[in-house]
Every structure is written in C-alpha cells, then in structure tokens.
Amino acid sequence: MKTPTKIKMILSIYSAILFCVVALMPDISKAGADTNFKMEISTEKNEYKEGEYVILMVKVKNNGTQTDSIEFLNDEYLSKSIIIKNQAGRSSSYKGAEVFYVGVHYTSIPANGEIVFPIELDYLWGFRSFDSYDETSKAFASRYFPNDKYTVEVNFKYDKGRKKISSNKINFEVKPSDASETEAFEKFKELYKFPYGGFYSETQNQQTILKWIEFMDTHRNSVYYDNAFYESVYKRKFNDFMYDSTMLKDCQHIINNKPNTLTARTAINTAFEIIEKISGKDEAILFLKK
C-alpha cells in the first residue's frame, strides 16, 4: 500500500535530521521541454464537496524506444512542481517538509511505458485549514479546498533546471456541502480538534482513533466517509492500534460500493495486509482472487 502523505511527511523530517545533507534541488533557470516524456494529470471527478479529498493522478510516459530515466522523479519533487490557483488567480504553494537525499535518485521508465503518482492535494495545498488540535505546529495543519473553482498544472524541472516536463492543465470545482451533509461535515471538522501525534500519549492517540472509527460507523454513506477511511488507515497502522480484522468491514464496504476508485485500491491493499497478518499470505492471495 502506498505510504499516506502525512506519514511520509513525518518520515521526511526524521530523514532530514538523520542525514543532515544538502538537498540536490533542480535549478530554477530556464529549462527546455523534454519531448522524450509526456506528462498527463487528472482527478477522479470534476466536482467535489467542500472538505472532500482531491487526489491528483500524475502520469509520466516514456515516448522513446528504450528505457530512460529521470532524476528526482518522485512524489516529493513532483509535489513542489504542482501549481494550483483559485478563480481569483491566487496560488497555493506547497507546504510540505523539505526532503533530503544522499546523491542523485533516478526513476526508470521502460520504452513506451508509464508510471503513475497519486498525490493528495488537500493536506499540503488547501486554501483553508481545519481548526487544529495544535495551533503551534502549523507544519502539521490539515488543509482543504473551500467553495471555489481551481486550475491545476505541473511544471517539473530536472537535470539542474536544464530540462522540464509540463503537464496539461485541468480544472475542478468545489461546492458547499449539501444540506444533508451539513451535520457530517461539522462533525468531520471537529475530529481535527482531538489531540493526536507524537507529542501526545499513546492513550490519547488511541482515543482519537476511536473517534474517527465512530464517525465512520455513523456516517457510512457520507461523502466524507472516504476522508475518514484514509485517516483511520494511516493512524491505526502508524500507531499499531486496531489495524486488524475490525477494519475489514470498512474495506469491504469501500470495495463493494466504490469499485475502480483510489479509495478502493487503498481498501484492497489494507485488507490484503491485514488478512496476511492474521491468516497468512495464501489466504490474502485468495482474497485478491475473489
């Protein structure tokens, strides 16, 4: 399963402390378009409700006749290349932690092959923040997109800024939550006020996780159920608390009701890990074949 954005952000900070090296960042000098590669971006839909997760799919294709590679083509460096603007033209800058690498990292793509990066936009780009449980730690504030229209594009530079790959430009709109979702949205926002994280005790973190689980049980048909599912997965796994068979009903609910979505992919990967831990790899493989 792909590591959730928030966990990777925390791990990135620890990596910076451990390695204490200077990041080899692409230069911002003029770059020429690299026609050997093509980048396309998309979202699962064009319209979202306020506070609902927006996942950007970044696909990079190798147009060449042989395997080729791109330096620093990964979630972190792509994230810094994303440009998001609202209808008034205001830009939202990347608010993630700096990632430090030892040496140059390359990502290879086979001839006529492609690689896809799912990137959660809300947490690090949103134009508005949920009221946080810890206002002193702005780096960990959870953001979302308020009611507005937005444009997104990616302009990725590499080879010390001499080359670039630019994506298409897409649009999505965020509308206020429906009247039927008002209660769920207000309760969803309240969840971010419950203390959670490394500054708090194990007991406190577990109590907060139980609040997220309660929301999922109460608002199973809400558009915010997906948000709560993602939060529940990464919090339960990171804290090794209730990352067990109690999650399987939620995974199955997602798989049955929202097939062919990124949330379903996360649910399948999560269920596989849990079944493998409980019953072994053979049982987990049987689950995939169903």
Q: Is 183 found in the same domain as 155?
A: no
Taking CA 35 as the corner, what is the angle to CA 78 and CA 85, rounded to the nearest 5 degrees?
40
Q: Is 148 found in the same domain as 242?
A: no
pLDDT score for 40:
97
Q: Is 136 found in the same domain as 107?
A: yes
Q: How far is CA 115 from CA 69, 125, 174, 234, 249, in A?
A: 11, 23, 28, 24, 31
CATH code: domain of residue 159: 2.60.40.2970
Number of domains making up the chain: 2
Q: Give pLDDT tens digits for 176-224.
A: 988 889 899 999 988 888 888 878 899 999 999 999 999 999 999 999 9
Q: Is 222 found in the same domain as 165?
A: no
Q: Is 213 found in the same domain as 168?
A: no
CATH code: domain of residue 205: 1.25.40
Integer Cα distance of 5 and 18 in angstroms: 20
pLDDT score for 34:
72
| Domain extent for 215 | 179-289
Residue 129's pLDDT band (boundaries 50, 70, 90)? Answer: confident
Residue 131's pLDDT band (boundaries 50, 70, 90)? Answer: low
Q: Is 118 found in the same domain as 23?
A: yes
147, 175, 203 - which closes a domain: 175
111, 142, 175 - which closes a domain: 175
Q: Is 106 found in the same domain as 22?
A: yes
pLDDT score for 102:
63
Q: What is the mean pLDDT of residues 266-275?
A: 94
Q: Is 241 found in the same domain as 157?
A: no
Q: Is 62 found in the same domain as 39?
A: yes
Residue 282's pLDDT band (boundaries 50, 70, 90)? Answer: very high
List own/partner pairs for 210-218 with CB under 8 A and 24 or more apart.
Answer: 213/242, 213/246, 215/187, 215/188, 215/191, 216/250, 218/187
pLDDT over 50 at 262, yes or no: yes
Place of tokens 């009221």: 131
Q: Is 196 found in the same domain as 165?
A: no
Q: Is 207 found in the same domain as 65?
A: no
Residue 9's pLDDT band (boundaries 50, 70, 90)? Answer: very low
Average pLDDT in the chain:
83
Residue among 281, 286, 280, 253 nearest 267 (CA) = 253
pLDDT score for 77:
87
pLDDT over 50 at 164, yes or no: yes
Q: Is 116 found in the same domain as 82?
A: yes
Residue among 128, 211, 214 nearest 176 (CA) = 128
Residue among 196, 209, 204, 274 nearest 241 (CA) = 209
pLDDT score for 160:
80
pLDDT score for 79:
87
Q: Give pLDDT tens digits for 28-65.
A: 445 666 788 999 999 989 999 998 889 899 999 999 99
Q: What percent of the chain has pLDDT over 70?
A: 80
Is the Cβ–Cβ distance between 76 and 99 less than 8 Å? yes
pLDDT score for 199:
80
Token digits for 235?
């919090």
Is the Cβ–Cβ distance between 9 and 76 less than 8 Å? no
128, 149, 175 - which closes a domain: 175
Residue 99's pLDDT band (boundaries 50, 70, 90)? Answer: low
Token digits for 44?
């699962």
